């Protein structure tokens, strides 16, 4: 009656059951049977075939292990299996013979040709005479074949039958200890502990709706908007670089009337909340200035026109800004003038100017401990700085080839860098680098799909899951990132009903931990 078929690996150690895959079938199941291994298409790397009986059809379901070469026979996938010739006779088995069925190769060129036909029903008349029954037609072939050999009376005892069954299926049975059984997990490779994570849209009561006049043309280096645990800042389309600030504690339909805004004075290039001061918002404008705005307690009640401070120094439009993850009053910015500048907000002055860039800077990110700063730029180079030691890059390495955009984020306790970008054929891909060995190039490269927008990566350090999506996408990719091969373990992706224009993760403190919500 069900439409799902689950495939688990069983192991004698914990975890005893590990789900490998699940298959959604077209019709409801009325019965299932597995095809013997000797009938599998081994040259196509078919490791299992199940027949599903539906109301009107018999449907084969095939499990294949992807291999580069299908010309070769893969010994690791297909160990020898039990053949079709019996190991002993019924009389010999009653007498104590415990030989096992001879194992045969699944290699097409080494298949056995011998066959076996049961000799039980040789002469029905002889059998009838021996058992003292009259052949009236009441006894069927099934009964005859079942009683062909006389059996000890103890077999009829339920207790002894139970004992012999449990003994044969115990740990000493040949199936459990067969050395030729390969772990399916070893064949298919490791899987993520979080592969069954489920993304779901929360109830409409939590949504902020009726948003009007949003600016959907922020630069590709900007996430489109920003949020902290109290409020969200949204650039608007109207002149003068206006920004709406909405309180997350007041969800629901927003008023039709104009709401109070921040008047930034220039179109917004990027914006970011101070992680240590939830009322301070930094806004980078296309006029090469960074303005700091203070939101009153309880939210905006009137339009703000005067910033708390203005940072001047860049000579061209700013790409992106990032607050320091550890120290207060530190902000980094990148600009079309090819410089990366670090600002001391307590004095409102530039503290350091980082050198070495020769082309547009796509993205920058502080390491989790705040000691290092990484950048990726249009010249297909990754650069790593230690701002307290030098204004020049400490390391450089090859970045993504495509010149359409890239993002980077620190992963695995800050020992690795994950970069999202494009290849020369515009395929979106993610690359993993060891932070201490950028010149060696990426440890792993994973192609995802072909789409025009840059993938925005968000990393959850507690589960080591990276979320990837682009503006205009409907799908969010999820991968667990590990410091050993294969580096990327796929988890359930999330698909929304409409394309998203921006995507932001809230601080972990807002997660409903009793619901096991982690992002």
Residue 169 — pLDDT band, cuts 50, 70, 90? very low
Does residue 19 form part of some domain? yes
* pLDDT, averaged across the chain: 85
Nearest to 406 by CA among 386, 426, 384: 426
Task: State which of 109-123, 160-174, 360-374 shows the largest mean pLDDT.
Answer: 360-374
The rounded distance, in Å, linking the Cα atoms of 33 and 272 is 58
Q: State the pLDDT at residue 166.
A: 34
Going by the DSSP 8-state scheme, the letter that residue 248 receives in this structure is T
Q: State the pLDDT at residue 144.
A: 39
Residue 95 — pLDDT band, cuts 50, 70, 90? very high
Residue 210 — pLDDT band, cuts 50, 70, 90? very high
What percent of the chain has a predicted confidence (pLDDT) above 90?
60
Rounded mean pLDDT, 343-365: 94
Q: State the pLDDT at residue 401.
A: 86
Does residue 11 form part of some domain? yes
Q: State the pLDDT at residue 121.
A: 55
pLDDT value at 108 more than 90: no
Does residue 6 form part of some domain? yes
pLDDT value at 199 more than 80: yes
Of 179-193, 218-232, 317-331, least confident by mean pLDDT is: 179-193
Q: State the pLDDT at residue 219.
A: 84
Around Cβ 355, how many Cβ atoms within 10 Å?
A: 12
Q: Residue written as tokens 């619901």? A: 515
The rounded distance, in Å, linking the Cα atoms of 165 and 154 is 14
Residue 436 — pLDDT band, cuts 50, 70, 90? very high
Query: Domain residues for 4?
Result: 1-32
pLDDT value at 66 more than 70: yes
Number of structural domains found in the chain: 1
Q: State the pLDDT at residue 110.
A: 87
Rounded mean pLDDT, 327-352: 95
* DSSP codes joined into one string, 99-165: --PPEE---GGG---------S-S-HHHHHHHHT----S-S-HHHHHHTSS---GGGG-HHHHHHHH
pLDDT value at 374 more than 80: yes
What pTM value is reported for the model? 0.66
pLDDT value at 21 more than 50: yes
Does residue 480 form part of some domain? no
pLDDT value at 306 more than 60: yes
pLDDT value at 177 more than 50: no
Q: State the pLDDT at residue 141.
A: 42
- 13 or 148: which leads in pLDDT: 13
Q: State the pLDDT at residue 19.
A: 84
Of 121-125, 330-334, 474-478, least confident by mean pLDDT is: 121-125
Supply 277's token pair: 């001061």
Q: State the pLDDT at residue 184.
A: 57
Rounded mean pLDDT, 253-281: 93
Rounded mean pLDDT, 499-511: 91
Does residue 17 form part of some domain? yes
Q: State the pLDDT at residue 469.
A: 94
Q: State the pLDDT at residue 393.
A: 96
Residue 187 — pLDDT band, cuts 50, 70, 90? low
Rounded mean pLDDT, 211-236: 90
Around Cβ 437, how many Cβ atoms within 10 Å?
A: 11
The rounded distance, in Å, linking the Cα atoms of 44 and 70 is 6
Rounded mean pLDDT, 7-23: 86
Supply 7's token pair: 């495939």
User: How would you classify residue 460: left for phi > 0, otherwise alpha for psi between -120 and 50, otherwise beta?
Assistant: beta
Does residue 16 form part of some domain? yes
- 152 or 453: which leads in pLDDT: 453
Does residue 3 form part of some domain? yes
pLDDT value at 135 more than 50: no
Spell out the residues 6+ positions from residue 77 whose beta carbon is closer than 8 angstroms to its own. Answer: 42, 45, 47, 65, 67, 182, 187
Could you read off the pLDDT of 315-335 as tens digits, one per residue?
999 989 999 999 999 999 999
Does residue 28 form part of some domain? yes
Residue 473 — pLDDT band, cuts 50, 70, 90? very high
* DSSP codes joined into one string, 334-375: EETTS-EEEEETTTTEEEEEE----S-EEEEEE-TTSS-EEE
Asked if residues 399 and 374 have their Cβ atoms less than 8 Å apart, the reply is no
């Amino acid at each position: 009656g069900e439409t799902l078929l689950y495939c688990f690996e069983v192991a004698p150690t914990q975890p005893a059951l590990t789900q490998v895959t699940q298959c959604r079938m077209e019709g409801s199941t009325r019965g299932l049977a597995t095809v013997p291994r000797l009938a599998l298409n081994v040259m196509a790397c078919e490791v299992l075939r199940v027949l599903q009986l539906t109301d009107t059809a018999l449907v084969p379901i095939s499990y294949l292990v992807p291999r580069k070469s299908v010309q070769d026979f893969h010994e690791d996938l297909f160990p020898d299996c039990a053949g079709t010739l019996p190991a002993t006779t019924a009389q010999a088995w009653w007498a104590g013979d415990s030989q096992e069925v001879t194992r045969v190769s699944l290699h097409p060129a080494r298949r056995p040709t011998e066959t076996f036909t049961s000799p039980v029903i040789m002469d029905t008349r002889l059998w009838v005479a021996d058992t003292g029954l009259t052949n009236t037609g009441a006894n069927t072939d099934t009964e005859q074949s079942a009683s062909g050999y006389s059996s000890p009376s103890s077999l009829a005892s339920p207790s002894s039958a139970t004992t012999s069954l449990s003994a044969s299926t115990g740990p000493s049975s040949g199936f459990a200890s067969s050395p030729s059984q390969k772990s399916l997990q070893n064949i298919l490779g490791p899987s993520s502990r979080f592969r069954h994570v489920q993304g779901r849209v929360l109830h409409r009561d939590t949504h902020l709706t009726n948003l009007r006049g949003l600016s959907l043309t922020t630069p590709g280096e900007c996430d489109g908007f920003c949020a902290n645990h109290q409020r969200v800042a949204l650039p608007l389309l109207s002149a003068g670089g206006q920004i709406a600030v909405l309180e997350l504690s007041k969800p629901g339909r927003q008023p039709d009337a104009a709401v109070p805004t921040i008047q930034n004075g220039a179109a917004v290039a990027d914006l970011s909340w101070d992680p240590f001061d939830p009322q301070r918002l930094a806004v980078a404008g296309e006029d090469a200035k960074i303005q700091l705005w203070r939101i009153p307690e309880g939210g905006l009640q009137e339009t703000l026109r005067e910033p708390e401070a203005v940072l001047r120094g860049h000579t061209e439009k700013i790409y992106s800004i990032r607050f320091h993850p550890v120290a207060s009053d530190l902000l980094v910015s990148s600009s079309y003038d090819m410089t990366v500048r670090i600002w001391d907000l307590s004095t409102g002055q530039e503290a350091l100017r980082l050198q070495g860039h020769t082309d547009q800077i796509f993205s920058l990110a502080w390491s989790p401990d705040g000691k290092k700063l990484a950048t990726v730029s249009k010249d297909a180079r990754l650069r790593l700085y230690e701002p307290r030691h030098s204004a020049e890059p400490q390391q450089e390495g090859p970045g993504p080839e495509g010149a359409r955009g890239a993002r980077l984020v620190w992963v695995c306790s800050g020992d690795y860098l994950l970069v999202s970008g494009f290849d020369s054929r515009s395929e979106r891909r993610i690359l993993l680098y060891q932070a201490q060995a950028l010149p060696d190039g990426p440890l792993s490269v994973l192609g995802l799909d072909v789409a025009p927008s840059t993938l925005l990566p968000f990393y959850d350090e507690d589960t080591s899951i990276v979320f990837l999506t682009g503006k205009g996408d409907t799908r969010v990719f999820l991968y667990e990132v590990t410091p050993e091969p294969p580096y990327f373990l796929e988890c359930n992706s999330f698909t929304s009903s409409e394309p998203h224009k921006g995507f932001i993760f809230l601080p972990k403190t807002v997660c409903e931990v009793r619901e096991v919500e982690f992002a």
